[in-house]
Structure 1
Amino acid sequence: MKSLFLYNWQVRDEWFDVCAQLSHEELLKERTGGVGSILKTLFHIADVEYSWMLAAEGKEAAEPKFEDFATLSKVRALSDSYVTELRPLILSRSPERDGEIVKAAWHAEPLRYGEVAKHVIAHEIHHMGQLSVWAKELHVPRVSANFIGRGLGEQ
């Protein structure tokens, strides 16, 4: 699973680069799907990953407000800070932890660590597909969804 987190982080960074071509108005324009806009979707991706993975570690995350991060540079900085904090946790994680019980304050039932990690990975990939549709509509480059060729192997 480590390689899929690395994949998501690479792809997310590439989407930030693509989105830098768009105006602030385009980033905030309400769209069908996602959580309403390109910028809100990028914010949501980073926030969900961070909150779930901290919960999996038995920690709580402060819940950021989108209004405090309503520019591409601020969302990217937030994402970068989250990845910086999560990277050592994810990369040092052993597969034996997949069965550990995880409790998140916002989820009634206990979950397993592996289930949470897989949820976070799938969640981001789902939203990256939405970004691809919007990019096509806006005639801007789309980020490749290919895992092959990214140099991630079986990290």
Structure 2
Amino acid sequence: MLDMFRYNWQVRQDWFEWCRELPQERTGGMGSILATLFHVANGEQIWINSMQGTPVIVKEGVTSLEEAVEFTELTQSITEQFLQSWDDELAMKTLIKKRRDGSEITFTYDKIIKHLIAHEIHHIGQLSIWSREIGRKPVSSDLIFRDY
């Protein structure tokens, strides 16, 4: 699992570098490309901190690329430390979450981790489409050619 996170983080870092070349912020997804990159990192830290039983970092958004990069680095550190202890026993633990209607739903940690990986891959696809819409080549997310 950690390898897939490292892959996603590498692609996310490439998107941050890609963003540095833009003359201005572009819209899309969660309101902007930058907001989408923040959304991915924020979702990751919410779930990881919830599974660890540690306080969730409450952050409404970011206003600069540098702020998004810093938040991503913090999130990566938390996630990597959590996944260092990943084993079959941890994968089968469960987390109970309250729904908006007050009912509860239970997820295994394994399902949450798989969701986080798929969630980021989903948004990488969105970013790729938006980059083509503005005439820019997207970041390559080809897993087979990446060393992570």
Query: TM-score with structure 2 length normalisation?
Result: 0.89
Query: TM-score with structure 1 length normalisation?
Result: 0.85
RMSD: 1.7
1:103 aligns to what SS in structure 2?
strand
1:121 match: 117
C-alpha separation in 2, matches of 1:37 and 1:7: 23
| Higher RCO structure (Cα 8 Å, ≥6 apart) | 1
Q: Name the amino acid aligned to 2:44.
A: E
Count how many residue pairs are aligned between Structure 1 and Structure 2: 145
2:129 match: 133
Deviation at 1:23, TM superposition (A): 2.7
Deviation at 1:82, TM superposition (A): 1.1
Percent of aligned pairs with the same amino acid: 33
Deviations 1:12-52 (A, max 9, x none): 0011010111133xx2x433xx2121111011011001101
More strand per residue: 1 or 2?
Answer: 2
Alignment counterpart, residue 30 of structure 1, candidates 27, 30, 53: 27
Residue 42 in structure 1 maps to residue 37 in structure 2: yes
Alignment counterpart, residue 88 of structure 2, candidates 65, 83, 95: 95
C-alpha separation in 2, matches of 1:5 and 1:77: 17
Alignment counterpart, residue 81 of structure 1, candidates 68, 74, 83: 74
